[in-house]
Structure 1
Amino acid sequence: MKGLLISLLLIGFAINIEAQESVNLTLDDCIKYALENNEQLEIARLDNEIARTQINETLARGLPQVNGSVGLVKNFEIQTSFIQDFISPAVYGVLIDESLLPDGTQIPEPQTFPAAFETEYSGQAGLTARQLIFDGSYFVGLKAAQTVKLLSQREQKQTEVQIVEGVSKAYYLVLITKENLDFLGRNFGTIDTLLQETEAMYEVGFAEKIDVSRLKIQHNNIKTELKNNTELLITSLNLLKFQMGMPLNQRIALTDDLSNISLTPVTEPGGEYHVNRPEYDVLQTNKDLIDLNIKNFQSQYIPNIYANFNFGWTAGTNSFSRLTEFNDQTWFRYSNLGVTLSIPIFDGLSKRANIQRNRIQKQQVEESISQFENNVDREVAEAKVKVDNAIRSVETQSENVELAEEVYEMTKAKYQEGIGSNLEVIEANTSLKESKTNYLNALYEAATSQIELKKALGTLYNN
């Protein structure tokens, strides 16, 4: 009796663990919570934000690039430059006809003179502006940045589908585990009562010792199963909360039951299945990115044009105090406007190699797309078979449970009336447990196979 009470308390704790100060959740509630709080999906959202900043970064290339600079220099030792005396030779050798000079007149050799052109203090302050006028790679890069954002959004959608799949399967696993624990609890109570009755019959000589021992073995086995399934229920709940992104210490109660599991084939959408899959969109977007990358390298063969503007002041003096006066006698303004045309001539065939590599990568993606299309058809065909088999199995196992319950009740009644053996009761009870386990496994298979079929068809989740 003490063992029964302890076991029943254990069952009560496991079954009601999510009902004590807990949040009631349907499957839809769990999915909604997961789509708002799952850590993996939050990472995908951040990737989406990163892609948005890449667009802004690319846009910035087309805006004016303005920089300012200020510099002051003190020359401790001014560098010396050398000037050639170009006047004397010019006068004697060019301006005067040598034939007119007296005989013996020598034209002097050019002389050099050291000179310092720098001042002790110098300064410079100015602004430089550079504006893109034409660059083919800029426009391709802007389109690529937008495509990267689209890729991030489609990868996020793919993550959402994976989360919905994981949460749905975890939710049904909890329901199945709880149902099995309920059944084991009821079965344990029945066996415990039968054991007590048999012990009482043994004490008065109406049962044998072997009858008591057999029931004790069955009693201990079910008790162990109860403890194991209690831990399994807790683990299943934690798995569900992990899939949802919910703290593990948050208690929850699932309000759906096994009757919510559909036992009818999934309605198939028209058209090709692969076009509904986010993985297909991701592959297509990757292909588009490779095309844009090829265009980017091709556009680099075209000259680009930039406008340049410079404006500022420069100063030079041998007095630091004059350098800091900032007047028109010390600081002299300058400005200029120009256009730069950059013409690519030869890059060692680097762009050509990059284009070839990207074209090969494009072929790889195209092969991946073709493989994915074929794989989707296979997934759908296999999922259909699994759904049909699971539905048939549920129907069969449900009938087997009913038959096993009838056999068990008749066998137990015969034993209590003294016209049957407890061995038959134990065997009937074991058969009932197996039938119930097979039924619950088939029911879980039916639920998960329909989830997988919806995923294969691309109808599991659409936001």
Structure 2
Amino acid sequence: MKNTLRVLLLAAGPGLLAPAGAVLAQMPAPRPVLASPSANGPLALSLSQAIDYAVKNKPTLLATRLGEQTAKAKVGEIRSAGLPQVNVAANLANNFKLQQSLVSFPVQQTVLTSSDVNAATSGERQVLTTQSLALPPQPFAFGLQHVGNASASVSQLLFDGSYLIGLKAAKVYEALATKQTQQAEIEVVEQVSKAYYSTLVARARLSLLARNVQRLDTVLYQTNAVFKAGFAEKIDVDRLRVQLNNLKVEQQKAQRLTELSVALLKFQMGIPQQQYVQLTDSLGAAVVDAGALRLRLGGANQATGGGVTGLGAVPTAPVPVGTTPDQSRQDQQTALAGARPGQAAATFNYNNRIEFSALESQQALAGLDLANRRAGAYPRLLATAAYGFLGSSNRFGELFAFRGPDSRSSGGFPDQNWFGFGNVGLSLQVPVFDGFRRRYQVQQARLAQQTVERGFETLRQSIDLQDAQSRASLVNALDVLDNQKANLDLAADVARVSRIKFQEGVGSNLEVVSAETDLREAQTNYYAAIYDVLVAKVDRDKATGELYSQVKK
């Protein structure tokens, strides 16, 4: 029982441009039922459906859940020790050479003398004398050649300190296995979310490149017509053709990158690569208000919001009630520095992180392990009972005759060969001295408990660091997105003006090519900034322990 408990205790790793003011994704609340993968048709996937499928079907998670079921089975094994233990046994033995034992017993001899005879002849009563003979011990064989027995025994544990502690540890151990499964689910949610966002961004950028190719092809066609009319030079056409060829190569690269993103998403979900999937969420549907997010981070920028898309004015977020301008600036600097503002720090709950909760369960198991070692000094009491039959015979065939107490031989003598037996009792086991083994076991358990307790401070510091890093990364990503959005607007305007000037004959073709190059670079940087914000939001939700709760909604 104690060894089993020790094992248990130790067992414990589609709009491309959204409205202004929106920047990053949240988990949708409803999660429709997702059909099983089928090679006959595409598998439609929203982000919530992709997460739901991965949580239910990813092989690594299925293996983790098998470990959880193993933990529950181990708990059942511990509990079974307190139930009645029933055993049935049957044995047959051929004593081809019976064991002999030396038996020593006194032998008395009656002494009859001639005087005793004469006295008896004369009618007198005579008492005869006896004397002991000094015989050595004589060998005797007990039993017959063939022996059989059948019995049933029952034992019931009445008291065992280790068992009582094991019952408490069983519940904690089962809870720990559940938390470890939840931790693995959070990892899968993070991986699937990032892969899904990567696919959305890659798909959006691919669509934008297709429009760029179409627009540049139109400019090339118009320039070529102007060249044929004698109002443009051949070098203008060649520059645009080189630009178009480079853009088509970039489009092909983006196409392969999109395919690779989809393959990664399938891998993170546990879907076969040959299964065709169709993403139903759009990049525009994956965003929320940036101003509200900045306020929640404690570092809202009241002047700029952070729009993903559109040319409208940046919305201004209202100042929270009770927040002074100085306090708002202080919170912003605190957020940019990577720390939590005072109000956010006061409400931060480490138990939101599944790692912290799992460490608490490990601490509880370590304490129960220490109590279990100390309980090894307690006595152990069991109730026992047994009943069976024993038979013997000189011939094997007669052993199964099963002759009872009423059996008689041909001469009328008792001929019973099977006899019943039974007993009930109590078994008390009191440990007295084990060579200080238990003392050193208690010392090891106490040190293991202290080691777990030291891990709390390390984990708190790690969580604080992750919280600060995720906060700073998200704020920085929002700022970069604001800047890249402004750059994209400027580059688009410059490209538009350059094309108009070239068409009107007041601009050069080189200016158009340069403006188109800058526009594509601004578009690439813009979508990279969107992806960075989406990933930073996922990391932020994971750092605060909200990622799992959002998926559960």
Please indicate, yes or no, whether the TM-score normalized by the shorter chain is above 0.5: yes
Matched, 1:425 2:453: no
412, 421, 429: which one aligns with 1:334: 421
User: 1:190 Cα deviation (Å)?
Assistant: 2.5
Q: Assess if the C-alpha contact under 8 Å between 1:33 and 1:244 holds in 2.
A: yes
What SS does the corresponding residue of 1:461 show, helix, strand or coil? helix
Go from structure 1 to structure 2 and tell me whether the alpha carbon gap of 1:272 and 1:348 turns closer, same or farther (over 3 Å shift): farther
Go from structure 1 to structure 2 and tell me whether the alpha carbon gap of 1:91 and 1:335 turns closer, same or farther (over 3 Å shift): farther
358, 371, 376: which one aligns with 2:445: 358
Looking at structure 1, the residues matched to 244 and 498 of structure 2 have their Cα atoms a distance apart, in angstroms, of 17
Q: What's the counterpart of residue 51 of structure 1?
A: 71
Matched, 1:41 2:61: yes
Q: What's the counterpart of residue 92 of structure 2?
A: 72
Which residue identity does 1:147 align to in structure 2? V
Matched, 1:372 2:459: yes
Q: Assess if the C-alpha contact under 8 Å between 1:305 and 1:340 holds in 2.
A: yes
Go from structure 1 to structure 2 and tell me whether the alpha carbon gap of 1:353 and 1:411 turns closer, same or farther (over 3 Å shift): same
Looking at structure 2, the residues matched to 109 and 21 of structure 1 have their Cα atoms a distance apart, in angstroms, of 105
Q: What's the counterpart of residue 220 of structure 1?
A: 245
Q: What's the counterpart of residue 377 of structure 2?
A: 301
What SS does the corresponding residue of 1:345 show, helix, strand or coil? coil
Q: What's the counterpart of residue 50 of structure 2?
A: 30
Q: Deviations over 1:207-254 (max 9, x none)?
A: 545444433432232222212111111111122222223333332222
Q: TM-score, normalised by structure 1?
A: 0.86
Q: Deviations over 1:4-33 (max 9, x none)?
A: xxxxxxxxxxxxxxxx94233322222222
What SS does the corresponding residue of 2:275 show, helix, strand or coil? coil
500, 510, 516: which one aligns with 1:413: 500
318, 338, 344: which one aligns with 2:431: 344
Q: What's the counterpart of residue 156 of structure 2?
A: 131
106, 120, 145: which one aligns with 1:87: 106
Deviates more, 1:372-381 or 1:260-269: 260-269
Deviates more, 1:213-222 or 1:399-408: 213-222
Go from structure 1 to structure 2 and tell me whether the alpha carbon gap of 1:189 and 1:72 turns closer, same or farther (over 3 Å shift): same
359, 362, 374: which one aligns with 1:286: 362
Q: Deviations over 1:396-447 (max 9, x none)?
A: 2112112111111222233334433322222111110111111111111111
Which residue identity does 1:165 align to in structure 2? E
Q: Assess if the C-alpha contact under 8 Å between 2:389 and 2:418 holds in 1.
A: yes
Which residue identity does 1:42 align to in structure 2? L
Q: TM-score, normalised by structure 2?
A: 0.73
Q: Deviations over 1:343-383 (max 9, x none)?
A: 11222322222222222222222222112222222222222
What SS does the corresponding residue of 2:251 show, helix, strand or coil? helix
Go from structure 1 to structure 2 and tell me whether the alpha carbon gap of 1:273 and 1:214 turns closer, same or farther (over 3 Å shift): farther
Go from structure 1 to structure 2 and tell me whether the alpha carbon gap of 1:456 and 1:257 turns closer, same or farther (over 3 Å shift): same
Q: Assess if the C-alpha contact under 8 Å between 2:109 and 2:133 holds in 1.
A: no
Go from structure 1 to structure 2 and tell me whether the alpha carbon gap of 1:360 and 1:90 turns closer, same or farther (over 3 Å shift): farther
Which residue identity does 1:305 align to in structure 2? L
Which residue identity does 2:357 align to in structure 1? D
Q: Assess if the C-alpha contact under 8 Å between 1:76 and 1:120 holds in 2.
A: yes
379, 389, 392: which one aligns with 2:476: 389
Q: What's the counterpart of residue 237 of structure 1?
A: 262
User: 1:149 Cα deviation (Å)?
Assistant: 0.4
Looking at structure 1, the residues matched to 391 and 216 of structure 2 have their Cα atoms a distance apart, in angstroms, of 105
Looking at structure 2, the residues matched to 192 and 347 of structure 1 have their Cα atoms a distance apart, in angstroms, of 90
User: 1:201 Cα deviation (Å)?
Assistant: 5.2
User: 1:278 Cα deviation (Å)?
Assistant: 0.8
119, 143, 150: which one aligns with 2:168: 143
* Unaligned runs of at least 5 residues, structure 1: 1-19, 93-105
Q: What's the counterpart of residue 4 of structure 2?
A: none
User: 1:335 Cα deviation (Å)?
Assistant: 0.8
Q: Deviations over 1:128-167 (max 9, x none)?
A: 2221111100111121121110001111222222222222
Q: Assess if the C-alpha contact under 8 Å between 1:44 and 1:156 holds in 2.
A: yes
181, 193, 218: which one aligns with 1:156: 181
Matched, 1:252 2:301: no
Looking at structure 2, the residues matched to 312 and 432 of structure 1 have their Cα atoms a distance apart, in angstroms, of 95
Q: Assess if the C-alpha contact under 8 Å between 1:89 and 1:109 holds in 2.
A: no
Looking at structure 1, the residues matched to 355 and 109 of structure 2 have their Cα atoms a distance apart, in angstroms, of 83
391, 397, 401: which one aligns with 1:321: 397
Matched, 1:192 2:217: yes
What SS does the corresponding residue of 2:377 show, helix, strand or coil? coil
Q: What's the counterpart of residue 172 of structure 1?
A: 197
Q: Assess if the C-alpha contact under 8 Å between 1:275 and 1:281 holds in 2.
A: yes
Looking at structure 2, the residues matched to 438 and 315 of structure 1 have their Cα atoms a distance apart, in angstroms, of 93
| Identical residues among aligned pairs (%) | 36
Go from structure 1 to structure 2 and tell me whether the alpha carbon gap of 1:206 and 1:349 turns closer, same or farther (over 3 Å shift): farther
Which residue identity does 2:387 align to in structure 1? F
Which residue identity does 1:292 align to in structure 2? L
Deviates more, 1:277-286 or 1:182-191: 182-191
Go from structure 1 to structure 2 and tell me whether the alpha carbon gap of 1:422 and 1:127 turns closer, same or farther (over 3 Å shift): same
What SS does the corresponding residue of 2:548 show, helix, strand or coil? coil
User: 1:277 Cα deviation (Å)?
Assistant: 0.9
Looking at structure 2, the residues matched to 364 and 90 of structure 1 have their Cα atoms a distance apart, in angstroms, of 82
Which residue identity does 1:326 align to in structure 2? F
User: 1:198 Cα deviation (Å)?
Assistant: 4.5
Deviates more, 1:45-54 or 1:109-118: 109-118
User: 1:186 Cα deviation (Å)?
Assistant: 1.4
The number of residues matched between the two structures is 430
Go from structure 1 to structure 2 and tell me whether the alpha carbon gap of 1:348 and 1:216 turns closer, same or farther (over 3 Å shift): farther
* Unaligned runs of at least 5 residues, structure 2: 1-39, 112-130, 298-343, 405-415
Q: Assess if the C-alpha contact under 8 Å between 2:109 and 2:132 holds in 1.
A: no
514, 522, 526: which one aligns with 1:439: 526
Go from structure 1 to structure 2 and tell me whether the alpha carbon gap of 1:21 and 1:107 turns closer, same or farther (over 3 Å shift): closer
Q: Assess if the C-alpha contact under 8 Å between 2:45 and 2:277 holds in 1.
A: yes
Looking at structure 2, the residues matched to 448 and 53 of structure 1 have their Cα atoms a distance apart, in angstroms, of 39
Q: Let me know the Cα RMSD of the aligned residues.
A: 2.5
